[in-house]
Chains A and B, each alone.
Chain A
Amino acid sequence: MKKIINKIIAVLKQKWPFLLLFGAAIFVRFYQLGKIPLSLYIDELAILVDAKSLANTGYDMHGKPFFQAMFLSYGDYKLPVYVWLAALGVKLFGVNEFALRLPSALAGVGTIFVMILLAKELFSDTKKTPSIVSACRDNILKICSIIVVGFSPWSLLFSRTGFEGHVGQFFLSLAVLLLFLSKKNKWLILVSPFVAALSVYTYFSVRFVWPIIYLAWGILFLFTTGKKFKSAFKNNNFNKKKFAFFVISGLIFIALLQPMHRNEYYSDSNKFRLSTRSVLNLKDWPVEANKLREITDNTIVDRIFYHRHLLLMKALAENYTKNLSLNFLFLTGDSNLRHGTQEHGLFLWPLIIPFLLGLISLAKNNFKVFSFLIIWWLIALLPASAPMEVPHALRSLNALAPIALLIIFGLKKTYLLSTKNIKLKFTACLYFLILGIAAFSFLEFYFIQYPIKSALAWQDKHKEFAITLLNLQDTTEYIYVHPFSSEPHLAFLAYDKSLQNFSSLEFIDGNVNKIDQKIEFKILNKHEWQNIFPFHKNFIIAGNYYWYLNHWPKDATYLKNTKFIYNSLGDKEFVILIYEKP
């Protein structure tokens, strides 16, 4: 027994397990990319449409030049970086799901890299002279990083879908890495604001996160030395050069945000964001506060106790703590099927032990790194806490790096603890076996069960519906489509091969009503029949099955053919009615 365990440990000290795991982590990000999840969601489609337009013409779908700080898209104001990257993908691989999701998958691989390097910067023992022992420890740290990040459901799910948040989080952690690398080359401090700005131009909420992280880094690492908080200002080693670099870098970041602030869509986009349901507009807080104060005697004490700001803070805190729940992190995950499997947490469940161990031991061993990671985590959750959909895996993605780093430290600690005696070694082997099984069962679930389970959440068959209608348009005079989603035109714009240039389209509030002069989106009901029927000799009516069942006359006169499109559960999802007069 002892021999076997020692052999396992000896193997871990070599290079190839690391490479093997890394290869596997890359493989699971690229295997069937674009096919799993089954189809593109509205936001992804919108990016694909803009990317297609940029790749073909250099202008977005509204005819604006590609170098702009904000894209109108379908009226939700998208930030440019992901669109540019997707356009690059489209240029290389054509208009398809793979091209769209490629930037995110690459960011996923990049995140693993960044995590390995960050873990090395933050956790490796610099005091000891480089020896075989520390080299092997670094190897363990690398392996831990890959296990935690590479196979975490959180990272994997978002690596395989085209959400800007994931790429934004990659740039953010890259910028943080640059800050730490600047210890050796201080010019990197000046590079980091560029990467951070890139991150802001990818995902909006980084704007609030970066400044706090930057300040925390400055206070904890740049201006203090050693593990304890000995201020550099006091001990005469205050470095004017350091300070100048710090300020300049901050100014660069602020300057880089100006194009966004000056953009014509900027104020509209803020209004759009604030209009979503959040704690801010959940209740009429002054009225709520007055109600409570009326019940009490409205003394000064009551006016403080039941102040509207305090009530709002309580609602915010409630949302905030939901993102901190261990269940959310390790067992249940986001309930939205696009953001989680509903069966797995953000990280593999056995990692809950290293997570707790990492929290305690890091706070004990290196309080500075601990507080930096905690600040990063907590500030990353703030933008995710105001809206009412909490906990939210996508909006809290910026917290992926700090939580992962805490777990990595804990996992390394678990391994180091286990080397003490044979009993512990055995337990550790058992633990890593369970971890392996958990990872395997997650991957199995993700690639086999999840696609079917989540098909409807990903609006599966919208593509098929659009393509079927586009193919039918030569056979008929006119096509009416009942709007089957909030943005029905996107699927048509994306998959219409004859439509490479959107300049001919007429946009109303970011939406299109007519494509190719033949396909029209129109809310159809029984009365509309009178307005359609007399004007065409043959035409097609199409929409979702629910609409057909409830709002469309089943008059069979002139109905030549009815086509159904079935969803992955085998139910009728769409209906295409082909009418022809003799």
Chain B
Amino acid sequence: MLNKRKIYLLAVILILIIGALLRLSFLEKFPPSLYWEEAALGYDAYSISQTGRDHHGNSWPIAAFKSFGDWKPSAYFYALAPFIKLFGLKAWVVRLPAALAGILIIFFSLNIARILFNKKIALLTAILVSISPWAILFSRAAWEVNLAVALLYGGIYFGLKFFQVLVSHSQSDQALTDSVNRKTRIQQKILSLYIFHLLFLILAMYAYHGTRITAPLIGLWFFIKLIKEKVFFKKIKLFAPILLLTACLALPIFLSLSRPGFKIRFAQTNIFSDLSLVEQSNAARNLHHNSPYSRLFYHRYLYFAKAISINFIKHFNFDFLFISGDNNPRHSIQLMGQLYHIELIFFLMGIFYLGTQLKKIKLNKITFLAFCLFAAILPASMTKTTPHALRILPAMPIFIMLIALGINYAWQLWQKFCAQAQQKFLKKRAILYSFWLLLIIIYFAEFAFFIRTYTKIYSHQYSQSWQYGYQQMIAQINNLKKRYPNYPIYITKEQGRPAMYYWFFSQTDPKKVQAQAKIVKKDQGEFLEFDNIKFINSVGEINNTPAIVAASKETLIDYLKNYSTDKIKFSIDINNLADQTVWKIIVIE
């Protein structure tokens, strides 16, 4: 016979398999092509795995890779490098670490919900995460943030587990007189859990910009709790060295923050560089002739605080979460929100449930959830484009946990309703359990809608957002290169970052790239030429023929007016999935 424990284990395995299937199948096809960040991640990981240097020639970068000059956090590169070594440089391999991180997110949110609530909520949370559009979308492309979330939730899980073991141990050891041997074993276990907790949080800081704020905040929460539980100072000899060592591990990140390239990127995205707020504050103060009153009430910090609050609240907008999603087509499939429609009801019920249970459930758990939500959304609130589904991905499992609580609450209400009902037919078990049947039917319909839209409509309509056409274009260019080896090649930058795609899809030897890194012209970190290929802003920069040219159809047709038709030897169009021509390749004699 199956006992409860076995059923639970079976359910967990089943959920993980469903999650894995949804994340790992057809990785190279959905989304339809590699976005430029993915190409950059892939090629630099390839470069590292082959030569130990990135494509600029920097040896084993620690905190960040220069990439296009935007200094990408390093964790994804290193997570990817072994897979590249194993399977080669392919589109699905580049996405593999994110997909695996997606499975880890299911696992960790399951265990967190289990520690905070119970097994039922844990299973509900896990199954909802595994089929959630939000989680699936970000697991199926090489998003650094997905890796960061997996690591962050690993950190939270080990932190919670640490306190669970600590509390149960400190309660039991007064009753039982343990042997010294057992005591040290438990102490070792507790310590290793704490070390894992810190390690995962620090790794999360290496994976994504936003988690550099979120992870320390969460670490701080646990640290304060550690002090409050009066454990820290008792065992200061054990904890202090661990903390110091891990702090050292985070040091390279803080050192890298002062880098000018990083500062520029920071200034581009955050609201503190938004001068209009300062101007508003100044205008209001001028109107009051700069009186002390106005200097206080129209202070720029107040304007910043308000802007942050507005951005923060925007992430709870119902149309963002449940109806239309992020405006950026890479972050949502546009025809639906980040979460399923029906979940709006359960989300509200979940919040209501927690609100009414303030006395029954330990306050600690609710404030912890609220704090995690706050820490996850805060970094995104300080940036300009909000609401942003990618930047608040760390909040996704918590949203889903709330939804799971809501479903559980609805179930409790339904049970109560059936039990109190006077009509006989409501007393039947079939009626009672029809709740779950109905729920499954609704979820199945929603899920079917999501999968249908994602596989059919989304990849068709938004292949352009994923830079579709580069792979086909580079293949053509390489063919032509063999036929006309001496012709210079011109590729325009209209679709962005052509050099990276060229290396990626030609599997160019990284050593060749590194060798040219110091010689060729660059724009920030982006190569403007490589071998006899020039990456130009527009066709106007073509200065010698014969040549092989790849550009958008419109500009190329415009350009070809200068040439008679017999000079053009070869011409081919490359279309995206919506049958729009994205590239035209020609050979001019």
Contact pick for B317, options A301, A305, A321, CB 8 Å: A321
Instruction: List CB contacts (< 8 Å) of B445-498 with chain A.
Output: 448-449, 452-453, 456-457, 460-461
From A316, which residue of chain B is reached at the shortest CB distance?
B323
A433 CB-CB contact with B under 8 Å:
no
**Whole-angstrom distance between the Cβ of B352 and the nearest chain A Cβ:** 6
Bound state CA distance, A301 and B316, in angstroms?
A: 31
CB atoms of B284 and A331 under 8 A apart: no
Give chain B nearest CB distance to A407 CB in angstroms.
Answer: 16
CB pair B323–A327 under 8 Å, yes or no, is no
Contact B323 A360 (CB under 8 A): no
Docked Cα-Cα span, A332 to B312, in Å, equals 13
B236 contacts the other chain (CB 8 A):
no
Q: Does B313 contact A327, Cβ atoms closer than 8 Å?
A: yes
Q: Does B356 lie within 8 Å of A331, measured CB to CB?
A: no
Could you mark each residue 59-92 of chain B with 1 if its beta carbon is under 8 Å from any beta carbon of chain A, else 0?
A: 0000000000000000000000000000000000
- Decide if B453 touches A305 in the complex (CB within 8 Å): yes
Q: Does A302 reach chain B (CB closer than 8 Å)?
A: yes
| Neighbouring A residues of B457 by C-beta, 8 Å | 292, 295-296, 306
- B260 CB within 8 Å of chain A: no
| Distance (whole angstroms) from the CB of A297 to the closest CB of chain B | 8
A295/B460 in contact, CB under 8 A:
yes
A448 beta carbon closer than 8 Å to chain B: yes
Interface mask (A343-376 → B, CB under 8 Å = 1, otherwise 0): 0000000000000000111011000000000000
Q: Does any Cβ of B come within 8 Å of A337's Cβ?
A: no
Check if B287 sits within 8 Å of A452, measured CB to CB: yes
Q: Does B297 contact A (CB under 8 A)?
A: yes
- In the assembly, what is the distance between CA of A295 and CA of B462, in Å? 12
1/0 contact trace for A130-167 toward B, CB 8 Å? 00000000000000000000000000000000000000
In whole angstroms, what is the CA distance A327 to B387 when docked? 12
Encode B299-318 as 1/0 by CB contact (under 8 A) with A. Answer: 00000001001100110111
Judge if A318 is at the interface, Cβ distance under 8 Å: yes
Pair A295/B310 contact, Cβ less than 8 Å: no
Question: When chains A and B are docked, how far (Å) is the Cα of A361 from the Cα of B352?
Answer: 9
Is A322 a contact of B452 with CB atoms below 8 Å? no
Residue B37 interfacial (CB < 8 Å): no
Contact assessment for A301 and B323 in the assembled complex, using a CB-CB cutoff below 8 Å: no
Contact B313–A305 (Cβ < 8 Å): no
Candidates B287, B319, B355, B449; contact of A321 at CB < 8 Å: B319
Instruction: Give Cα distance in the complex from A38 to B461, angstroms.
Output: 50
Query: Is B335 interfacial (CB-CB < 8 Å)?
Result: yes
CB proximity to B under 8 Å, residues A289-339: 292, 295-297, 301-302, 305-306, 314, 317-318, 321-322, 324-327, 331-332
Residues of B within 8 Å of A326, CB to CB, are: 313, 316
Q: Which of B287, B297, B452 contacts A301 (CB 8 A)?
A: B452
* CA A324 to CA B317, docked complex, whole Å: 8
Secondary structure of the A contact surface, majority rule: helix
In the complex, are the beta carbons of B287 and A448 less than 8 A apart? yes
- In angstroms, Cα B318 to Cα A138, docked, is 36
Within 8 A of A (CB), among B313-334: 313-314, 316-319, 322-324
Q: State whether B287 touches A360 (Cβ < 8 A).
A: no
Instruction: List A contacts of B317 (CB < 8 A).
Output: 321-322, 325, 327
Which one of B306, B314, B323, B456 contacts A296 once the chains associate, using CB atoms below 8 Å?
B456
Partner of A324, one of B297, B306, B314, B318: B318
Asked whether A441 and B297 contact (CB < 8 A) given A305-B453, A314-B324, the answer is yes
Please indicate the chain A residues that have their CB under 8 angstroms from the CB of B324 in the complex.
Answer: 314, 318
Asked if A419 is an interface residue, CB under 8 A from chain B, the answer is no
Quick one: closest A residue to B459, CB to CB?
A: A295
When C-beta atoms are compared, the residue in chain B nearest to A330 turns out to be B313
Q: Are A305 and B449 in contact (CB under 8 A)?
A: yes
Chain A contacts for B309, CB-based, 8 A: 331
The minimal Cβ–Cβ distance linking A315 to chain B, given in whole angstroms, is 9
CA of A321 to CA of B324 in the docked complex: distance in angstroms? 11
B contact residues around A292 at 8 Å (CB): 457
State which of A302, A318, A359, A361 has its C-beta within 8 Å of the C-beta of B319: A318
Q: Which residue of B lies closest to A325 (CB)?
A: B317
| Complex contact A363–B310 (CB within 8 A) | no
| B284: chain A residues within 8 A (beta carbon) | 449
CB closest chain-B residue, reference A319: B319
Q: Is the CB of A360 within 8 A of B456?
A: no
Given A314-B324, A448-B287: A296 touches B318 (CB 8 Å cut-off): no
How many angstroms between the C-alpha atoms of A326 and B318 in the bound complex? 10
Q: Let me know if A305 and B287 touch, CB within 8 A.
A: no
Indicate if the CB atoms of A332 and B310 lie closer than 8 Å. Answer: yes
Contact B318 A321 (CB under 8 A): yes
What is the minimal beta-carbon distance from A299 to any residue of chain B, in angstroms? 9
- Determine the chain B residues whose CB is within 8 A of the CB of A302 once the complex forms: 452
CB pair B355–A331 under 8 Å, yes or no, is: no
Chain B residues near A296: list those with CB within 8 A.
452, 456-457
Please report which residues of chain A, range 391-416, place their CB below 8 angstroms from some CB of chain B when the two chains form the complex: none
Contact yes or no, A295 B449, CB < 8 A: no
* Given known contacts A295-B460, A295-B461, A364-B356, A331 and B310 CB-to-CB distance under 8 angstroms: yes
Shortest CB distance A453–B (Å): 9
- In the assembled complex, which residues on chain A have CB atoms less than 8 Å from the CB atom of B461? 295
B358 vs chain A, min Cβ distance (A): 9
Within 8 A of B (CB), among A444-472: 444, 448-449, 452
Report A-chain residues with C-beta under 8 Å of the C-beta of B323: 314, 317-318, 321
What's the least CB distance linking A341 to chain B, in Å? 12
On whether the beta carbons of A295 and B456 are closer than 8 Å, the reply is yes
Q: What's the minimum C-beta distance from A413 to chain B, rounded to whole angstroms?
A: 12
CB of B371 to closest CB in A, whole Å:
17
Q: How far is the CA of A314 from the CA of B336 in the complex (A)?
A: 9
Give the CA-CA distance A181 to B288 in the complex, in Å: 48
Q: B432 → chain A, closest Cβ, in Å?
A: 20
Given A296-B452, A305-B453, A449-B284; A317-B355 close (CB under 8 Å) = no
Residue of B335, B448, B456 touching A314 (CB-CB under 8 A): B335
Bound-state CA distance A326–B352 (Å) is 17
Residues on B with C-beta less than 8 A from A305 are 448-449, 452-453
* Docked CA distance A363–B461 (Å): 43
- Given the complex, which residues of A lie within 8 Å of B453, measured CB to CB? 305
> Which A residues from 486 to 501 make CB contacts under 8 A with B?
none
Contacts of B287 in A (CB 8 A): 448-449, 452
A317 touches B319 (CB 8 A): yes
List A contacts of B297 (CB < 8 A).
Answer: 441, 444
Docked complex Cα distance between A359 and B348 (Å): 11
Distance of A318 Cα from B351 Cα, bound (Å): 22
Question: What is the bound-complex CA distance between A302 and B316, given in angstroms?
Answer: 30
CA distance in complex: A314, B352 (Å) = 26
| CB of B108 to closest CB in A, whole Å | 29
* Cβ-closest chain A residue relative to B311: A327
- Bound together, the chains give a CA A332 to CA B313 distance in angstroms of 11
**Measured between alpha carbons, how far is A332 from B314 in the docked complex, in Å?**
11
A297 to B456, CA, bound (A): 9
Give CA–CA (A370, B456) in the complex, Å. Answer: 43
A364 / chain B contacts, CB cutoff of 8 Å: 355-356
* Closest chain A residue, CB of each to CB of B349: A363
| Cα(A314)–Cα(B449), bound, Å | 14
Query: Nearest-CB distance from B333 to chain A (Å)?
Result: 12
Report whether B319 and A327 are in contact in the complex, using a CB–CB cutoff of 8 Å: no
Report the 10 A-B pairs with minimum CB-CB distance, sorted nearest first.
A360-B355, A321-B318, A321-B319, A296-B456, A318-B319, A327-B313, A326-B313, A295-B460, A364-B356, A317-B323
Q: List 29 A-B contacts (CB under 8 A).
A: A295-B460, A296-B456, A297-B456, A301-B452, A302-B452, A305-B452, A306-B457, A314-B323, A314-B335, A317-B319, A318-B319, A321-B317, A321-B318, A321-B319, A321-B322, A322-B317, A322-B319, A325-B313, A325-B317, A327-B310, A327-B317, A331-B309, A360-B352, A363-B352, A364-B355, A441-B297, A448-B287, A449-B284, A449-B287
Q: In the complex, given contacts A317-B319, A318-B323, what are 11 additional A-B residue pairs having Cβ atoms less than 8 angstroms apart? A: A292-B457, A302-B452, A305-B448, A314-B323, A321-B319, A321-B322, A324-B318, A327-B313, A327-B317, A364-B355, A444-B297
